[in-house]
Each structure stands twice: as C-alpha cells, then as structure tokens.
Amino acid sequence: MCTSIFLKGSEGTEGGVYGRTMEFGAWTASALVLYPREFAFQGVGIDGLPGSGLNWTSKYAVIGTNGFGEPILYDGMNEKGLAGGLLNAPNTAEYQHPTSEQSEHSIAPEQMLIYSLCNFATVEEARKGLATILVNGSPNKNWGGVARCHMTLHDATGRSIVVEFLKGELVITDNPLGVLTNDPPFSWHLANLGNYANAGGPSNKMLVVNGENFIPDSSGVATMGIPGSFLSSDRFVRAALYVAHAPSNLTTTEQINVAWHIMNNFDIPPGIISMWADSTYGGGVGGYETTEWTVVADLKGGTYYLKSYQSQSIQSLSFVDFDLNTKEFKLFPLLTVPVVQVMK
C-alpha cells in the first residue's frame, strides 16, 4: 500500500516536490543509497540471474531508498531532477514475455526505477527509452514472487507519467494530477475521481431550504463525502484532492512543508491493517502492515528527505554534498531511534 504525490514547482518554471509512503507487509530493511555516475548495473534476465539481462552503466548519479540489500531502488531521484517510485500492483501488473534470445535486452520489474533514474533526465526521455527495452516477469525471492508493480515518474519541468504493464503491454500515461496509489490501473482511478467533483474548496457552504439557512456546525463541510479508508481507491481520491487544493505560489521550503503535511495523512499505524499470510499486498507474510518510511524530495534543489517507522526524525541526502564521480556507491542506514532536541 503506497501513496505518492507531486506538487509542481512555483518558483519559476522548474522544480517541484515529490512525496511518497512505503508499505509492503514484509519489512524491506531499507537504507538510503547514493549511486555515482558511471556505476555498472547488471540486468536480471528471464532466468532471474543478474547479468543475464540488459546490463547498463549509469549516466546520472542517483539517490534513493533500496530494499532487502538489493542493488535496486524502490524510490529515488537523480541529479537532473527526475524522481519517482515503484508502487505495488499485484492484481494488474503483467509483464512482457521475452524469448531466450531477447533476455539480454530485458530487465526485471524491480529494476524499472533504477534503470530509469540512471538513464533519463526527463519523463519524455523515459517514455521513449522504456519503449526500447523489455521488462520480463522473472521472480524475486524477497518480493515473494514476481515484483508486480507500476511506476510513477516526475521531472523538474513539472511533467508526470505513470508506467504500467497491463496484459503484457507497456502502457505509459500522462499524469496531470501527480498522484498514484496501487491497483486498479491508473485509468480506473482517473475515471473514479470524477465522482468527487464537488469535494474540497470553501468551508462556508450552507443549505438553504424555503428561505431558511442551515449552517454547518464547524469548518470542513466541503470535505464531507471524501472516502476515508486505506483502500488504494480511497487514498487516491484523498491525495488528488489534497494536491489540487494545496496552496500555490509557495517557496520550495514551504512546498516541502506542505508535502510532509499531506503525506502525514497516509501514515498507517500498526494494528489497523492486518495481513493474511498469502496476501499479495503483504509480501506473502502475515502480521501488521504499517508505513515503513515516508520520503519527500526537492527536485530543483536535489535533496531527498526520509523519516522511518522507527524514527520520525528526518534524514536527508543531497547531491551537492558528494563527489558524484566516485567509483563506489554509498549506503546510509535509516535511523532506528528518534533524534530529540532537548530545550533547556
């Protein structure tokens, strides 16, 4: 269960702020990672082995969040301001079926994001580039099978797309909302959003009947009817409305703050969602599903922020703080305890 948003930049024509929560039932043991330019990656082919697929060398430096210690990212951003994430879509994602001869031109589903961030500067480059490779359906043991997911991408020009594989075909859709959750497919979410056309906006609405005014007993009347569950469809509607009604003409710092406040609405506390052992959304394990981490990324400033389940204190990585031509990747563990500022 993941929720992602994008707030378009309001300082000039470039920039923007991206936010995303990560929930997966199975604990992903994530860490923050920086991959430098010219770093070699091994594509996973149809046999599930690294190196048997499409190998590549990163054109751009990338920062983000990995999982299970694998050389992939579930979420991240590159030095050109392309950002995005993989979101679970186990009920609809169906990948291509490369032959043995085509395997060396393919990658595994969980490699879609790291491949995109390494090679593309904009969503238009990603749209064209992803059409030239294949994505196979090789299983990933840490995912509990095939990593059935779809991908959201945003760039510093303010453009957004959603990348899906439906019935074995690549489907790339412009995303004017900048919002994505999980199943059903993105087109379904767009159609469903029309059912909430009157939601949001001014809170001074009142009912007039035969000349009598009936005034709400508090503010917030315009939010009546907005779905409140953690279902993907409900989270999509809420996220879209929060983004649509977010303040405009803010500084980047103010936008980052707004993004955190929006993302706080999608933090899943432990206990409210219990997963059965064979749930496709729970990574094949039982127990509670909760928000493992939440990120906010500044596309123009090149800074990536994260707070984890164990610590609500914010960690950050910024491209300006590193030599992007180094030969080694850098790994940063997530905080496991809060960093508390004691006032005296």
pLDDT over threshold 60, residue 279: no
pLDDT over threshold 80, residue 28: yes
Residue 179: predicted pLDDT: 98
Q: What is the pLDDT of residues 56-105, one digit of tens each?
A: 999 999 999 999 999 999 999 999 999 999 999 999 999 999 999 999 99
CB 125 within 8 A of CB 116: no
Residues 6+ apart with CB under 8 A from 86: 74, 75, 110, 112, 113, 147, 149, 150, 151
User: What are the respective helix, strand and coil percentages of the chain, to the nearest 5?
Assistant: 20, 30, 50
Residue 25: predicted pLDDT: 76
Give the right CATH number for 4-196+232-333 from 3.40.640.10, 3.20.20.70, 3.60.60.10, 3.40.50.2000. Answer: 3.60.60.10
pLDDT over threshold 60, residue 281: no
Nearest to 180 by CA among 15, 20, 10, 308: 20
Q: What are phi and psi of 221, to 5 degrees?
A: -60, -30
Place 288 in a pLDDT band, splitting at 50, 70 and 90.
Answer: confident
Q: How far is it, in rounded angstroms, from Cα 315 to Cα 336? A: 11
pLDDT over threshold 80, residue 284: no
Structure tokens at 20: 């995303």
Q: What is the pLDDT of residues 74-88, one digit of tens each?
A: 999 999 999 999 999
Residue 15: predicted pLDDT: 85
- What angle do helix axes 232-244 and 186-193 make, rounded to 10 degrees? 60
Place 199 in a pLDDT band, splitting at 50, 70 and 90.
Answer: confident
Residue 211: predicted pLDDT: 82
Structure tokens at 75: 């979420």
Look at the pTM and tell me if it is higher than 0.95.
no
Helices within the chain (DSSP H only): 112-119, 123-130, 186-193, 232-244, 252-264
Residue 223: predicted pLDDT: 78
Nearest to 242 by CA among 199, 192, 188: 199
Residue 11: predicted pLDDT: 60
CB 308 within 8 A of CB 316: no
Residue 210: predicted pLDDT: 73
Residue 340: predicted pLDDT: 84
pLDDT over threshold 60, residue 276: no
Least confident residue range of 16-25, 150-159, 185-194, 286-295: 286-295
Q: How far is it, in rounded angstroms, from Cα 64 to Cα 319? A: 11
Q: How far is it, in rounded angstroms, from Cα 289 to Cα 271? A: 8
The more confident residue out of 283 and 17 is: 17
Q: Is 149 helix (H, G, I), strand (E, B) or coil?
A: strand
Residue 46: predicted pLDDT: 97
For residue 109, say if its preceding peptide bond is cis, omega within 30 degrees of 0.
no
Whole-number Cα distances in Å, 152 to 54, 182, 337: 22, 11, 30
Report CA torsion sign: 180, 184, 187, 193: negative
Residue 65: predicted pLDDT: 98
Residue 129: count other Cβ atoms within 10 Å of its Cβ. Answer: 13
Residue 75: predicted pLDDT: 98
Mean pLDDT of 129-149: 94
Residues 6+ apart with CB under 8 A from 8: 16, 158, 178
Residue type, 179: V
- Judged by phi (left if over 0) then psi (alpha if -120 to 50, else beta), residue 132 lies in alpha
Q: What does the H/E/C string look like for 173-225?
A: EECCCCCECCCCCHHHHHHHHHHHCCCCCCCCCCEEECCEEECCCCCCHHHCC
